[in-house]
A and B are shown apart, each in its own frame.
Chain A
Amino acid sequence: MRVRISNDAVAMACGGEAVAAAFAAAGCAVERVSGWGMHWLEPLVEIEGAKGWTGFGPVAPGDVPAILAGTSALGIGAVAEHPFITAQTRLTFMRAGRIRPLSLDDYAGTGGWQGLARARSLAPAEVVAAVIQSGLRGRGGAGFPAGIKWQKVANAFGGSAAGARKFIVCNADEGDSGTFADRMVMEGDPFALIEGMAIAAHAVGAGAGYIYLRSEYPHAIATMRAAIALAAERIAPFSVELRVGAGAYVCGEETALLNSIEGKRGVVRAKPPLPALQGLFGCPTVVNNVLTLAAVSHILREGGAADYAALGVGRSKGTMPVQLGGNIARGGLVEVPFGITLGELIHDFGGGTASGRPVKAAQVGGPLGAYMPPDQFHLPLDYEAFTAADALIGHAGVVVFDDTADMGRLARFAMEFCAVESCGKCTPCRIGSTRGVELIDRIRAGSTVDALASQPQIRNAPKAAPSRAADIALLEDLCDTMRGASLCALGGFTPYPVLSALKHWPEDFGGDFGA
């Protein structure tokens, strides 16, 4: 009997290897495929039967005999027909669950390399135009139109590439909590990323590319290494090299990432100059997120750009692979056109909390995203709509919290995370994040008289302990300073979670809030 089990990291972490071994021991032919992105069902197993493939999950080794005997209660029917899947518009994730990730045959058999072939038959400017037409915006978080960025790089040095080096750099440093889409692409459909990079290279005149992949993703590292070797001939003369990060979230910021590839401390660079003009090793460089580049491979297929642009709302065109995580009943990968509401994502797809308790908040966009209360769940997934509500989509990770969440503690964590990951270059983040932690502790516990300030030699400082109101005002000022003066989004956006927590759940900050 043929059995399919994912080798996606979630499946492995939930005991997938043991399940695969159990099926193999039971005499089945086990195929390792990419993950479907239905994480609540992992380890998800598909058995080939008379009526096609049937899914079961979550499977433990002890469930294997029942499954093989046809008596298991874990069946979910054909996975491809599961409402979780059918309600989605999977373009970037079209191959999730359906292929063996490192099989060049499976890739080619599902439309792989068509985008590259077509791109190479077009003039570079036409490829750029297609990406602009598609409306694709950077999926890493900044949401900058990808085609415009490519155009800048293509036109550097007056458009001529004579003697000039250019690079494609893929930002695979997916460090945001609540995000795993990049990881899934790299583990599940790595050739799509490589193809996208090769298309970008043709469009801008780049000869080489780098993938900067965080070291916390060992499965993705192994898979990408293998995929790069397998695809080398296909993408030649363009070549791709994998570079592994070394434990710095800030290296997800594009200029810190470039510094890291160059072998330097991962500190943020000032802009201007833009990486598009002066990026890796001083050369014009395209820096794009994994999802952005993976989307390119299907956008460049015949009609792909128009199809993509036909989806979405306003200026948020195409589909977004949303990642549902945290305290969520049905967590995983949901690729949908822009325009869906947060509530639909969390309740219709996600099924509310895993604990069954009420949803208290959702953090969208990673640790630098605002905490949103349920009364904001009507917001449509749209870059501009979220910005107008003082929130951000970022990489579209949605982390759900039930009512046991302490928002004050989470606000403190936002500052703490900033302090741990701060590159240290700019003052608002370097010092501000540490002061932010101390301040939130002080607000929650109540402040005391400052020992030094109470000394007579210190004349200018107030002697009394600051009031709660004063400390809250100080926290807001600190957030304002970090928002307005930080060098990059790490310090600049940390105020989002902090202020949103303070605004919507002041009761979680201890003390008596005007009761």
Chain B
Amino acid sequence: MGYEPQADFGTPRIDAAAEVSLTIDGRAITVPEGTSVMRAAALAGGNIPKLCATDSVEAFGSCRMCLVEVEGMRGTPASCTTPVAPGMVVATQTPRLEKLRRGVMELYISDHPLDCLTCSANNDCELQDAAAQVGLRDVRYGYAGANHLAEVKDTSNPYFSFDAAKCIVCSRCVRACDEVQGTLALTISGRGFGSQVSAGQAGDDFLSSDCVSCGACVQACPTDALNEKAVAEIGKPERSVITTCAYCGVGCTFRAEMRGEQLVRMVPWKDGKANRGHSCVKGRFAWGYAQHKDRIRSPMIRESIDQPWREVGWDEALAFTASRLTAIKAKHGPRALGGITSSRCTNEEVFLVQKLIRSGFGSNNVDTCARVCHSPTGYGLKTTFGTSAGTQDFDSVEAADVILVIGANPTDAHPVFASRMKKRIRGKDGQPGAKLIVIDPRRIDLVRSPHIAAAHHLPLQPGTNVAVLTAMAHVIVTEGLADEAFIRERCDWDEYQDWARFVADPRHSPEVLEAVSRVPAAELRAAARLYATGGSGFGAAQGRKPNAAIYYGLGVTEHSQGSSTVMAIANLAMATGNIGRPGVGVNPLRGQNNVQGSCDMGSFPHELSGYRHISGGATRALFEAEWGTALDSEPGLRIPNMFDAALDGSFRALYVQGEDILQSDPDTKHVSAGLAAMELVIVHDLFLNETANYAHVFLPGSTFLEKTGTFTNAERRIQMVRRVMQPANGAGDGIGKEGLEDWQVTQALANALGLGWNYANTAQIMD
């Protein structure tokens, strides 16, 4: 095991159809055209020293350490900025190169602190590595010359510090903030020897700058100049575990870097398919809640909610819970019991909860937070496309020519994905980027922020989503911009014609609807045309159809007419042929880290796993056979209905895992009244939340760091969550002494009810 830094090939991967073969130090290698010599050498197993190159950003060519000799080329070009050429013969280790590299290194160290042994980057510093690699033995300039060692350290940011005395002005941080994150909070101020990394303007420090604490600069920095404060306090990590973030639907893959049982830092994993080595402040730095003193570590029970909590061991808590559940079931029937699954817990855990409710409690009274979030997505996309999920992965945005964002604020809510979207909008190397349309009553950051400007912002009146989309459809149909060939081939032509007739009606024109939407008709027409055609002259200039993609969020779904809006979005995509290839599609930006998975696993009261209706006999039979018990064939209560039913006395017991329904659900008075009316409320969570005020049983949960399982992100990508530390909820002497993952708690509860579950691990649950 041991701690290995992530592999760094120096310059970004190039995807090209053509390949180039060359020889590096006598080894033959073939790489995509456009790959740098540095990257090719790294792929061939070589090791060219580098300080300013890192594969998350474009080559820069400033450190001058990576020089190589190329047969037929004069001098010693930098391998990071030299693309491979067919038949190139490269030497990366020659006496000349060694001399030059040592010369450069000598200059670096003549302006650098010398107390490596007490530095928090000791043994995790690329400058050290390079000095060792080139065999530096002496800094003949001495140490009396001009230097930057008197610089004051900037500790303003709570998570990381910037020590300019250790900065080697490689500009990796500036480039990361520009190219990866897209915030451009950093620059180099001054020039020459006086060049310095500056977080903003003259009076700014990191905290006052535009920095959003995504950590990309810290990750990129080769020295201790930018380093996590945790590393300074705790020490260098010794091992790492790959896992998935639990904050949002992007589902960033992280390396949880540990020192013993202590988490030192979460570093984005470069091979993460959703995040590709980037992160936001939440997953990167805000994991301290896992070890917070307010975590509830042992189960608690009480007879009634006006009594204080009593800490007990797991055995007692589970026995108490099971006996109460059994009693209520006996007296009021199985439909008096129900539960709410978590959109933060793993797929396996969600599966167990709904299985417990269906096969253990005996009802279909199970639901999830998607109810108040993306359930319109589930319904709308199932109806239009047949699957309750989006059509693209995140990579798809790189191929988009037009991006339409409606009811979403990705720079705030899905920052890592937003950075990728912004990168596409900015274009590259003089090539134009994607054009942006924003439909939002608010002037979100995407409308205008450094280097980003929406071609059209439609600031509609709240409540007019459907009207605006219908007006856009009107433009597309009446101006002949629909993709007839696509519709005939891939959609239902008759349905299309009905729809087209409807939207083409004059009462749906932008001019008429402007009265309700308050969106100027000319602007709306222009936006619709842009979405459908890519802009005038697109076909002639590019020789192909434009790729137009729609991204939407809770501004669409957490709304009345949410499902209609989702279907309207899907119709726009279908009518213009924007389905079925990279760069297009309908992309719901799912909020929570596993809301997609939670829905997939059968959290809805009317559907079993895989969105199969509970009334379907064949499906139900499968599960009955699998679970060894009969299942209720009637759809159960949705969350709002659970509270209604609680108030009328027919719903009396609730098992809530990982959701603070009193905080999250609408009509707080209704929720609290419903909770208060229940006989047994079991809250299974990390902290004493709002809902816990009405609970009789508190089962301490485990964070994503303390369990193994899978999350499904907004791309429908299923990713591993791996346990990095022991659950904190070990209590008592019996079961649960060593801490329980949430699925183990659910299983223990099931077994306390006599269900006899014996899953040994979550893989068995998934199987």
Contacts and interface: CB of A to CB of B under 8 A. Distances in A.
User: Is A in direct contact with B (CB under 8 Å) within the complex?
Assistant: yes
A331 to B, nearest CB: 31
A481 interface: yes
Contacts of B78: 270, 487
B695 to A, nearest CB: 59
Nearest to B67: A485
Contacts of B108: 427, 431
A307 B120 CA distance: 69
Contact of B62 (A265, A435, A487): A487
B195 A452 contact: no
Grouping DSSP codes into helix (H, G, I), strand (E, B) and loop, the B interface class, with mixed when no group exceeds half, is loop
A314 interface: no
Contact of B193 (A265, A419, A458): A419
> Which of A271, A273, A281, A427 is most buried by chain B, counting CB atoms within 10 A of its CB?
A427
B83 A422 contact: no
Interface string A425-469: 111101111110011000000000011110000101110001000
Nearest to A281: B430
A427 B146 contact: no
A272 B76 CA distance: 14
A12 to B, nearest CB: 31
Contacts of B616: none
Interface in A388-423: 419-423
Nearest to A273: B429
Contacts of A421: 192
A461 B191 contact: no
A477 B194 contact: no
B591 to A, nearest CB: 37
A374 interface: no
Nearest to B143: A452
A432 B192 contact: no
B138 A431 contact: no
Given A452-B144, A477-B103, A485-B76, A423 B191 contact: yes
A424 B188 contact: yes
B563 to A, nearest CB: 43
A478 interface: yes
Interface in B74-106: 75-76, 78, 80-83, 96, 99-100, 103-104, 106
Contact of B143 (A265, A281, A433, A453): A453
A282 B429 CA distance: 5
Interface string B339-361: 00000000000000000000000
Contacts of B169: 424, 430
Interface in B130-153: 137-146
Contact of B114 (A266, A281, A458): A458
B528 interface: no
A248 B107 CA distance: 24
Given A419-B193, A426-B64, A427-B64, A438 B100 contact: no
A165 to B, nearest CB: 9
Interface in B188-232: 188, 190-195
Contact of A424 (B140, B190, B537): B190
A427 B104 contact: yes
B510 interface: no
Given A278-B429, A470-B140, A477-B103, A427 B62 contact: yes
Interface string A57-97: 00000000000000000000000000000000000000000
Interface residues on B, range: 35 or more
Nearest to B195: A424
B144 A451 contact: yes
Contacts, number: 137
A452 B63 CA distance: 26
B61 A426 contact: yes
Nearest to B141: A435
B110 interface: yes
Contact of A450 (B103, B143, B146): B143
Contacts of B192: 419-424, 430, 433
A266 B192 CA distance: 11
B145 A265 contact: no
A422 B191 contact: yes
Contact of B194 (A424, A426, A458): A424
B193 A430 contact: yes
A273 B34 CA distance: 11
Contacts of A270: 59-61, 78, 80-81
> Which of B61, B67, B191, B541 is most buried by chain A, counting CB atoms within 10 A of its CB?
B191
A426 B107 contact: no
A17 interface: no
B111 interface: yes
A434 B148 CA distance: 13
B431 interface: yes
> Which of A422, A435, A451 is most buried by chain B, counting CB atoms within 10 A of its CB?
A435
Contacts of B104: 427-428, 481, 485
Given A461-B138, A481-B100, A424 B81 contact: no
Contacts of B193: 419, 422, 424, 430-431, 433-434
Given A420-B192, A424-B192, A426-B62, A481 B81 contact: no
Contacts of A435: 107, 110, 141, 145
Contact of A480 (B80, B99, B142): B99
Which 8 residue pairs across A and B have the least CB separation, nearest first? A282-B430, A481-B103, A270-B61, A424-B195, A270-B81, A422-B192, A450-B142, A452-B143
26 contacts: A163-B540, A265-B191, A278-B429, A424-B190, A424-B192, A424-B194, A425-B60, A426-B62, A431-B111, A431-B193, A435-B110, A435-B141, A435-B145, A450-B144, A452-B114, A453-B142, A461-B139, A466-B140, A466-B142, A470-B140, A477-B99, A484-B75, A484-B76, A484-B100, A485-B76, A487-B62
Interface of B: 59-64, 67, 75-76, 78, 80-83, 96, 99-100, 103-104, 106-108, 110-111, 114, 137-146, 168-169, 171, 187-188, 190-195, 429-431, 537, 540-541
Interface of A: 163, 248, 265-267, 270-273, 278, 281-283, 419-428, 430-435, 438-439, 450-453, 458, 460-462, 466, 470, 474, 477-478, 480-481, 484-487
